[in-house]
Amino acid sequence: MENTLSIVSLIIAALGFALAVFIAVRQKRTNRLMFLADRIFDPTIPRELRLPFYEEYLSMGGNGTAVKFWLIEGEKEKKQNSK
């Protein structure tokens, strides 16, 4: 009986640890994506210096508003340069 209880306790502890690691990794990934998006949207940084942030954002699977912003901003610059 004591053996069974200790085995069950070890299994539950291992599952809890695995869940904690999963949550920590997911949170660190979310924080990194938010950091990268902030740099992409920052108009005080020249566009060519924001490029590495944009590329990392895409490589991490980021999409949505930051990508649309980057593409629209690029189109605006092309129009301004062509005038």
pLDDT of 36 over the 80 cut? yes
Domain ranges for the chain, please list them: 25-82
Q: What is the DSSP letter of 58?
A: H
DSSP 8-state class, residue 45: S
Please name the residues in contact with 53: beta carbons below 8 A apart, sequence gap of 6 or more. 36, 39, 40
Contact 11, 4 (CB under 8 A): no
Q: Which amino acid is it at 30? A: T
Assign 64 a pLDDT band (cuts: 50, 70, 90).
Answer: confident
Instruction: Give mean pLDDT, residues 21-45.
Output: 90
Q: Is the pTM of this model over 0.75?
A: no
| Lowest mean per-residue pLDDT among 13-17, 20-24, 25-29, 50-54 | 25-29
